[in-house]
């Protein structure tokens, strides 16, 4: 929720088992989108749950993305090199 409050409409949420965002997201401008749209439109992927749909995403569709995989489902993901200048806002947002 902290990121959604801070970055609003820049936050896209993929949850295949939800028809709407939880009420905690109200007023944040975050948006619920499908997985294909997320893969096409986003530059950063943050994996918080290990749904089978997420596990099935091939490397070719996520290789050029900055990925934070908290579930360890994409062990083949290349390590991104993020300059400290770019990484600092992400640390402060959390």
Over residues 10-43, the pLDDT tens digits come to 999 999 999 999 999 999 999 999 999 999 999 9
Please count the other Cβ atoms lying within 10 Å of the Cβ belonging to residue 28: 19
Q: Which domain holds residue 78?
A: 2-93
What is the predicted pLDDT for the residue at 2? 87
Pairwise pLDDT comparison (78 vs 60), residue with the higher score: 60
Please count the other Cβ atoms lying within 10 Å of the Cβ belonging to residue 41: 9
Pairwise pLDDT comparison (94 vs 6), residue with the higher score: 6
C-alpha distances out from residue 27 to 16, 22, 88, 94, Å: 22, 11, 26, 19
pLDDT tens digits, 62-88: 999 999 999 999 999 988 766 665 555
| Start-to-end Cα distance in the chain | 10
Tell me how many domains the chain contains.
1
Task: Enter the pTM of the model.
Answer: 0.78
What is the predicted pLDDT for the residue at 3? 87
CA-CA-CA-CA torsion for 69, 70, 76, 80, nearest 10 degrees? 50
């Amino acid at each position: 929720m902290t990121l959604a409050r801070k970055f609003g409409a820049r936050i896209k949420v993929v949850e295949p088992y939800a028809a709407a965002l939880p009420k905690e997201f109200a007023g944040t401008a975050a948006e619920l989108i499908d997985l294909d749209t997320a893969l096409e439109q986003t530059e950063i992927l943050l994996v918080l749950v290990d749904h089978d749909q997420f596990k099935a995403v091939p490397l070719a569709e996520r290789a050029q993305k900055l990925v934070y995989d908290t579930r360890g489902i994409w062990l083949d993901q290349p390590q991104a090199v993020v300059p400290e200048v770019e990484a600092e806002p992400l640390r402060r947002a959390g």
